Structure 1
Amino acid sequence: MRLFNSANGLDISSVTFSKDQGSFEFDYKSKRYSYNRLTGKLTLVEKKEEKKELEDPIYSWMTFSPDKKYILYAKNHNLYVKGNKALGVDTTEVQLTTDGVENFSYAREEEAGENGEVPTTALWCPDNRHIYVVRDDNRLLRDFWVINSLEDSPSLIKYKYEFPGDKYVTQNELAIIDIVEKTVKKAKIDKWKDQYIRPLHVTSDSKYLFFERTKRTWDEVDVCSVNLSTLEVKEIIHEEDKPYRDPHARNVAILNDGKDILFRSERTGWGHYYHYDGDGNLKNVMTSGEWVTGYINSIDTLRRKVYLYGYGKDKKVNPFYYMLYEVDIDREGVTPLSTEDGQHNVNFLKSHNYYVDTYSRVDMEPKIMLKDKKGKVIMELAKPDLSLVYASGWKKPERFAVKAADNVTDLYGVMWKPSDFDPEKKYPIISVVYPGPYFGFVPTNFTLDDSYCTRMAQLGFIVITVGHRGDTPMRGKAYHRYGYGNMRDYPLADDKYAIEQLAQRHSFIDGKKVGIYGHSGGGFMAAAAICTYPDFYTAAVSCSGNHDNNIYNRGWGECYNGVKEVEKVVKDSLGNETKEYEYKFSVKSNAEIAKNLKGHLMLVTGDMDKNVNPAHTYRMAKALIEAGKDFDMLVIPGAGHGYGSADKYFERKMYRFFAKHLLGDTRADCWEDINRSK
């Protein structure tokens, strides 16, 4: 922990408390001090001299066994192991596999060590003997490219990629390796064509590996175990979830060596936890009701308590805020621990008797509290001093709520105003957007700036972010699945209606001068918005947008927009029947509505973006050109999905664009010789 007090320059760190909380020690200016809270006495603590021993360096490519005796790594796409010299173990290199090849490798793509060593995707079991690895076979995937134009000779950068609906996609293999017997065994885990595999847990005796497999259509999932000796696969839990099981909200906890399984499901329409035994029998419901449980923060296995975040249970609190709850493993019911109105971030001590709760809101400074296991406040650990920030003119953003376009659903947002805000003036409004659907962009924590919002407001804008139906799994299944099958259009009406309500509510908002900005999925949404409602939005900045999801990430498109599995029965010449599967994908692109543009649009992309390939932006640009539309475009050489050293340049470009088209400030278009007056 580090504490700051800008008023007197105090900067202390490495704070530790005594068992009775009566005193604490801290470092200040290279010295160690002890402070007694009862007597108020401060004493200098003599630091013990630390023995400095020469050790072999540790490199990023090393994966140590649990006992630190062995080092696992990859080289030439295969697995290798050797002993740890520091512990006196034989350092002779032993090759464990021979079938690793490019695009079906045991290696992660990282810079190689001195002798070609790279990190591996393989992991150790607790017995220090067995290794397991889920290996991705990408050999049949299509090639995708970007061009590095900045080298002495421009070069083509090739990488493997999957489009939604592709015939050839990643295939997963689960291998179990014994470093003593030097055997490599492949588990028979196949159930569905093109399934996804995710390892979950290895038991403490290294007898079983638990894993999750998911159907390509994302609507069926199994929790399974594999016996690491016999390779027998056992299906424990099977779940169907239409139209899809959200990959970012799934959670499975394996406890007590697999005798207890905590499984999160949305089977009731709300995300809740269910307690199963090791054979897949439901023992008890843990949580229920019209609210949503999130990820597990910590588990106290001795008391059989789970500490998890929940959303929307307290109806007086914004449903996006992380609130901490205690849950019994063996019975239904929850106990609220962190009840303050704000976003909570909790860190438990190992004993689970105490935890540090840091909570804040966009309009409330962070509070850092030490609490006991019942949620009782023991003491405030630190308090930020922002006096200099406020003295500079910075003002907190404001929270607001509006209705969705259905006039029923509540939406929550944040508003930033200029530091010299005058309620008698009228200000253009800019909506900063991200459509989800795996998380909502609306900030909840206290921050001085968020995605340009504070800085952009200082130019003379009202800047907002606001949620919309379909943006997050934190508000229940019906809310989250709202955009399924309609990836382009689902967030647009809610954003427009939110702005209209705010303009009607506040006379200082000019509802006829509306801007919109977004990056990645937000760039996709910004361009779609100005082309869908061309008489409403005045200007849009669309950065690195996935404008054509037919050529974007397969998992993203097939999960959140949907993919149709078509089964065909095929007979060979002898009359033997086999089943073949095709996957049909259809999604609307921004190019289809480019012809509607009336306002001002700026497209931005990095020309080496491997996430959202620049082809997305180029296709949108081509459609605009063919429709005879005027637009701005910035291609950043050498940039990927983020703009790196060019980000400040982009930021100034965006500000000038909005200033010109929303404020009528054209000074950035002027050129003047600075020496002319001499």
Structure 2
Amino acid sequence: MKKVLLGIILFMFVVSLFGQQKANYRLADKFFITKMGNIVPSRDVKPGFLKDSDKFWYTYKTCEGKNYYFVDPKSGKRQMLFDPVRLAEQLGEITNKAYNSKDINIVPSFTEEGKNFRFQLEGKTIEYSLASGKCRVVPKEELEKNALPKKTGNGISSVYSLSPDKSLIVYTKDHNLWLKKSEEPDSLSVQLTSDGCRDFSYSDDDEGENARVFTTKARWIKGQNRLYVLRVDKREVGTLPVVETLSGRPRLLKSSFGSSKYMMPGDKAVLHFELSFIDAESRVVTKVNLDKWRDQKVQLLHVSADNHYLYIQRTKRTCDELDLCKVDTYTGEVTVILHETCKPYINDRMQAIMFLNDDQEFLWWSERTGWGHYYLYSSDGTFRRAVTSGAWTAGEIMRIDSVKRELYVLGYGREENRHPYYAHLYKASLDKVGTVKLLTPEDANHKVTMSPSGKYFIDTYSRVDLAPHSILRDKNGKLVCELAEADLTALYATGWKMPERFMVKAADGVTDLYGVMWKPFDFDSTRHYPIISYVYPGPQQDALPVDFTITGNDNCALAQVGFIVVTIGHRGGTPIRGHYYSTFGFGNLRDYPLADNKFALEQLADRHPFVDISRVGIFGHSGGAFMSVAALCTYPDFYKAAVATSGNHDNNIYNQAWGETFHGVREEVKGKDTVFTVKIPTNMELAKNLKGHLLIVTGEVDNNVHPAHTYRMVDALLKAGKHFEMYVLPGQQHMYKGAADVFMRRKLWFHFAKHLLGDYSAESFSDMEEFNQLK
């Protein structure tokens, strides 16, 4: 009896404690995502390079106004492009209007010699002299005299494709190719093909109506009066339309892939590809035999400069093998020049190929060592050398210096004791193995813009806790000059504070995970706060921000309601941390990130007394919604509340490439037939475990993650007798906009305030901002 009484007393204490924690909606509203857009005027430098020059201009805003700058990298000088006060006065004299010298808005267009620039204002062309600092209105006569000659054209519409010798034009009609002479627009057209049809068209508009003249998939081969065309056969593929109800008669809409056709994991009817060569004179169509694997995917990668070869990639449906093929445009002969196998799947999100040295060589990106790197091959597929190597990932190629044989590439995880998500720029030799040089040493994420010559680059670096800083470097990484630093004066004046970075361990107790934490700006270390995890499982990316962010996708505002809000990377997330890390979730597309998230939150609670681990929330969008529901139902005694918006709760009906790549597809040979099957665990299977408080949402016309995902989850919850909340947002696609977006962001506040703070005041609101009337 005493234990029961003690339990009741403890329960009443917790209830009373919840009652004392009121949601601070006003503070959250102050930092709402729609209200913080321009408070930091500029964050990076967007250069406008002069023609055939490394010189550039840019604008940058601070709390003092907008300024224009001119940079000459060779001299290392940065100066004001013009005196804004003097220019405003001159513009006033020209137009008889007053101008604010702190907010002049023009787009300079430099003359070829770079001594003057022109811009449009009030219907006038004005020229500014850099030497004198004076403006003049360019007379109409001078403009007409120096204007480029107008193209007379040949009467050929943009839907027609002109042959290399300009004698013939090809176009599509009725989904087939037609040909006629270019110099005789009224000449009779000749039909080249007859097997084109809807969903297997020679037109760029696969689903277009018959009799329409439209652009074509066919491309001319230089030096030959022949064409090549890669067609996609969609005829047997099923459809997945959504219903839009807000405008006139309710109607079916296409998917986000630009077609009503939609392939799901395990589908028997999938896309098929056909490559053909067509002789414009003989009208002979030759189909190229690219067949190797059942239901393979085919894509055109490159056309050689002399048009002698097409480079084609064919990928096995199981996504773990591919061939790089060279197709002779004269003979149609197919030669495999590279075969790649990578288990459990090939990372096509980062895969890249770059041809160089007049197509005599190519760089190929591969994870064959467990880390993504570039390898140099000759055009016939002969391996030459690894250009980058080691326990780090080489990413996007920024430039190749073909003269000095140097590669400029972004890299991740190479520097010790650095956040592995941060991009750094490196220079590597194409000919000397192991010569990789760091060009951007700052401990931050770097965004790089190369100059036209490649001799310089603009480097903007930042972190979630470091304001953006832009500088100019030469190609060896040497500082040329400072450009700009973001002005946070107005932001700090609001009471805003930087989020905090942290590191924890994965559930294996070994792997480092990285995270970001937002706290209330009226934070009191003696209080106990609920903790909410904002999640996205990947595996093509995760939700962890690395650049400077004011709102953190509105996580900053949510924290002000009265929470500790975190987002944490996990195994199976971003591919930039290596093949093992990114493929951790293969074969288990539902459960793989859950244990890491739970263990990370428990570590934060052990580390910080202000974290109340008895009140845990989780939320996310799309894959994050899928993860949130799975977490709530997998650890129902740990997570107490969740918000899931537009979640793919049943990946068996999400797109084929996603499910089959990241979960795996089983290939079986049955007699003469090959059968592919997929069975992905769903959230509906977990519905019976729900204990906490779930808010589940979908957009009515979500043509990415179909509303059926949410409807199936809701159906399972209903059948399990569970209590939950659900909304369908009319007219909304996968990403919510306007009033619906504002509604959902604030409903998220209200949901977590009710179930983690015990503040039910929002239940009485008739307007979404009624919290501003509370005392």
Tell me whether the two structures share a fold, i.e. TM-score over 0.5. Answer: yes
Contact 1:178–1:184 (CA under 8 A) maintained in structure 2: yes
SS at match of 1:595: helix
From 397, 420, 438, the counterpart of 1:296: 397
Aligned to 1:173: 274
User: What letter is aligned with 2:231?
Assistant: R
Q: Which amino acid aligns with 1:222?
A: D
Name the structure 2 match of 1:230. Answer: 331
Q: Give the match for residue 189 of structure 1.
A: 290
Query: In structure 2, the residue corresponding to 1:160 is in which secondary structure?
Result: coil
Distance 1:299 1:669, change over 3 A: same
Contact (CA 8 Å) 2:76, 2:481: kept in 1 or not?
Answer: no
Structure 2 partner of 1:139 = 235
Asked whether the 8 Å contact 1:360–1:366 carries over to 2, the reply is yes
Aligned to 1:460: 562
Gaps of 5+ in 2: 1-46, 48-57, 85-103, 117-129, 255-259, 771-775
Give, in angstroms, the shift of residue 391 of structure 1.
0.9
Q: Is the 8 A contact 1:17 1:25 kept in 2?
A: no
Q: Which residue identity lines up with residue 345 of structure 2 in the other structure?
A: Y
Superposition deviation, residue 198 in structure 1: 1.8
CA contact under 8 A between 2:515 and 2:568: conserved in structure 1? yes
1:355 aligned to 2:457? Answer: yes
Match of 2:725? 632
Alpha-carbon separation, structure 1, partners of 2:283 and 2:405: 39
Q: Which residue pairs with 2:15 in the alignment? A: none
SS at match of 1:608: coil
Q: Deviations over 1:274-326 (max 9, x none)?
A: 11112222111222211111122221122211111111111221111111111
> Any idea what SS the aligned residue of 2:576 has?
helix
How many angstroms does 1:9 deviate by? Answer: 1.9
1:153 to 231, 240, 249: 249
Distance 1:366 1:133, change over 3 A: farther
* In structure 2, distance between residues paired with 1:556 and 1:565: 17
Q: Who is 1:323 aligned against? A: 424
Q: Is the 8 A contact 2:164 2:221 kept in 1?
A: no
Counterpart AA for 2:236: L
2:712 to 615, 619, 622: 619
Aligned partner of residue 299 in structure 1, secondary structure: strand
Shift of 1:119: 5.5
Identity %: 47
Which residue, 626, 646, 651 being the options, matches 2:745?
651
1:12 to 39, 43, 68: 68
Q: Offset at 1:446?
A: 1.1
What residue identity is the alignment partner of 1:563? Answer: V
Could you tell me how far apart the structure 2 residues matched to 1:447 and 1:128 are? Answer: 53
| Aligned position for 1:212 | 313
Q: Distance in 1 between matches of 2:565 and 2:598?
A: 14
Which of 376, 382, 401 is residue 281 of structure 1 equivalent to? 382
Residues in 1 aligned to 2:388 and 2:186: alpha-carbon distance in whole angstroms: 51
Q: 1:242 maps to what in 2?
A: 343
Determine if contact 1:413/1:442 at 8 Å carries over to the other structure.
yes
SS at match of 1:201: strand
Where 2:565 maps in the other structure, the secondary structure is strand
More helix per residue: 2
1:670 — aligned with what? 764
How has the CA–CA distance of structure 1 residues 454 and 303 changed in structure 2, closer, same or farther, with 3 Å as cutoff?
same
Between stretches 556-565 and 332-341, larger displacement belongs to 332-341
Q: Secondary structure at the match of 1:357?
A: strand
1:639 positional shift: 1.8
Aligned-residue offset at 1:341: 0.9
Q: Is the 1:31–1:44 Cα contact (8 Å) retained in structure 2? A: no
Instruction: State how 1:482-561 maps to structure 2 within 5 Å.
Output: 482-561=584-663
CA contact (8 A) 1:104 1:138 kept: yes
Match of residue 674 from structure 2: 581
| Alpha-carbon distance between aligned partners in 1 of 2:694 and 2:610, rounded to the nearest angstrom | 25
Structure 1 residues 296, 92: closer, same or farther in 2, change over 3 A?
A: farther
Distance in 2, Cα, partners of 1:496 & 1:56: 68
Letter in 1 for 2:420: P
Instruction: Tell which has more relative contact order, 1 or 2 (C-alpha 8 A, sep 6+).
Output: 2
Alignment of 1:80-119 (within 5 A): 97-108=193-204
Task: Using the TM superposition, give the Cα deviation of residue 12 of structure 1 relative to its aligned residue in structure 2, in angstroms.
Answer: 2.6
Corresponding residue number in structure 2 for 1:573: none
In structure 1, the gaps of 5 or more residues are 570-578
> 1:573-595, CA deviations, whole angstroms, 9 ceiling, x for partnerless residues?
xxxxxx32011212110000011
* SS of the residue 1:161 aligns to: coil
What amino acid maps onto 2:493 in structure 1?
A
Please state if 1:388 is matched with 2:490.
yes
Check whether the contact 2:159–2:171 (CA below 8 A) recurs between aligned residues: yes
CA contact (8 A) 1:3 1:382 kept: no
Moved more, 280-289 or 232-241: 280-289
Aligned to 1:411: 513
Q: Give the conservation status (yes or no) of the 8 Å contact 1:299–1:307.
A: yes
Aligned residues of 1:61 and 1:118 also touching (Cα < 8 A): no
Return the alpha-carbon distance in structure 1 between the equivalents of residues 498 and 213 of structure 2: 50
Q: Which amino acid aligns with 1:314?
A: E
Larger fraction in strand: 1
Alpha-carbon distance in 2 for matches of 1:634, 1:59:
52
Partner Cα separation in structure 1 for residue 152 and residue 488 of structure 2: 44
The Cα offsets for residues 519-559 of structure 1, whole Å up to 9 and x where unpaired, read as 11111111101000111111111111111111111111111
Separation of aligned partners in 1, 2:156 and 2:563: 49
Amino acid of the structure 2 residue aligned with 1:604: V
**Shift in Å, 1:186:** 2.9
- Return the offset for 1:99: 3.3
Choose which of 670, 683, 692 in structure 2 pairs with 1:599.
Answer: 692
Q: Distance in 1 between matches of 2:366 and 2:497?
A: 41
Separation in 2, partners of 1:234, 1:371: 43
User: Matched residue pairs, number?
Assistant: 657
Rg comparison, structure with higher value: 2
State the match for 2:3 in structure 1: none
Q: Which amino acid is the alignment partner of residue 572 of structure 2?
A: G
Report how far residue 382 of structure 1 moved.
Answer: 2.1
* Cα shift at 1:342: 1.1
Q: Deviations over 1:444-494 (max 9, x none)?
A: 111222322122222222111110001021111111111010110000000
* C-alpha separation in 1, matches of 2:725 and 2:367: 44
- SS state at 1:369 partner: strand
Partners of 1:134 and 1:123 in 2: CA distance: 9
Q: Which residue of 2 aligns with 1:574?
A: none
Deviation at 1:356, TM superposition (A): 1.1
Counterpart residue type for residue 641 of structure 1: H
Q: How far apart, CA to CA, are the structure 2 residues paired with 1:455 and 1:55?
A: 55
2:499 counterpart (397, 400, 404): 397
**Matched residue SS, 2:268:** coil
- Give the AA of the match of 2:486: P
Q: Give 1:66 shift.
A: 11
Please report how far the alpha carbon of residue 63 of structure 1 lies from its aligned counterpart in structure 2 after TM superposition.
8.6
- In terms of mean alpha carbon deviation, does 606-615 or 72-81 score higher? 72-81
- Cα 1:658–1:41 change in 2 (3 A) is farther
Structural mapping, 1:325-344, within 5 Å: 325-333=426-434, 334-344=436-446
For residues 166 and 502 of structure 1, what CA distance do their matches in structure 2 show? 43
1:228 Cα deviation after fit: 1.3
> How far 1:24 moved relative to its partner?
5.7
Distance of aligned partners of 1:10 and 1:250 in 2 relative to their CA distance in 1, 3 Å threshold: closer
Query: 2:636 touches 2:692 (CA, 8 Å); kept in 1?
Result: yes
Residue deviations 1:493-519, cap 9 Å, x none? 001111111111112222111111111
How far 1:406 sits from its partner (Å)? 0.6
Measured after TM superposition, the shift of residue 90 of structure 1 is 5.8
Q: TM-score, normalised by structure 2?
A: 0.78
